Amino acid sequence: MNNIKIGVLALQGAIREHTQHIEALGATGVAVKWPRDLSEVAGLIIPGGESTTIGKLMVEYGFTEAIRDFNAAGKPIYGTCAGMILLAKKITEGNQPLLSLMNIEARRNAFGRQRESFEADLDIKDIGLFKAIFIRAPWIETVGESVETMAEFGNIKVMARQGSLLASAFHPELTGDLRVHKYFLDMIKEA
């Protein structure tokens, strides 16, 4: 278990916090700066940040095809916030580079100005109560076939899984709670 390496896409955004959570679970966190780095890791986290920026850099660095191949090989991917947007098949508005791997539609900055950032207690499937931090967060507007909703805020979908793909609108790396990362590590062990 100590040898499991999890990559964190290191183009922009909250990279270190994810790596610290991974290390706290006894796995190894690897900053993925180039597509070739993907060959070293068993799973990949796409962090929060600015999805337009990360998306542009992904195209520029040749990550789009490399990450799609990584997914096709059955290796788990977890997207948080901007990472969730990048995983989505489509977004409700605008046009920006996406990986389009997961059968969800995401709405960017969905909570509006009043709710730029906030905390909420969620009841996450298979994990339980979790204090979630949202920052200019998207939400999941619609889920398609074979997608399982894992958490809702009111009746808004904020976390989902489709096979080896996991997405959350919130930032579990910003809390001391390791359980969402543990859940992802378990997905990698099962893959």
Residues that bind ligand GLN (CB under 6 A): 48-51, 81-82, 85, 108-109, 135-136, 138
**Min dist. Cβ of residue 110 to ligand GLN (A):** 9
Neighbours of 65 (CB within 10 A): 12
Nearer to ligand GLN, 66 or 82 (CB): 82
Torsion of CA 24, 18, 84, 51, to 10 degrees: 180
* Selected catalytic residue, list 17, 21, 173, 181: 173
Active site (annotated) includes residue 40: no
**Min dist. Cβ of residue 23 to ligand GLN (A):** 22
* Selected catalytic residue, list 18, 21, 81, 181: 81
Nearer to ligand GLN, 58 or 81 (CB): 81
Active site (annotated) includes residue 23: no
Backbone angles phi, psi at 69, to 5 degrees: -65, -40
Nearer to ligand GLN, 7 or 138 (CB): 138
Nearer to ligand GLN, 29 or 48 (CB): 48
Compute the distance between CA of residue 156 and CA of residue 45 in angstroms, rounded to an integer.
Answer: 23
Torsion of CA 89, 95, 99, 103, to 10 degrees: -10
* Selected catalytic residue, list 119, 171, 181, 190: 171
Torsion of CA 128, 139, 104, 85, to 10 degrees: -110
Backbone angles phi, psi at 113, to 5 degrees: -70, -35
Q: Where are the alpha helices (DSSP H) in the chain?
A: 16-24, 51-60, 63-72, 82-87, 179-190
**Min dist. Cβ of residue 82 to ligand GLN (A):** 3
Active site (annotated) includes residue 171: yes
**Min dist. Cβ of residue 19 to ligand GLN (A):** 17
Catalytic residues, by residue number, are 81, 171, 173
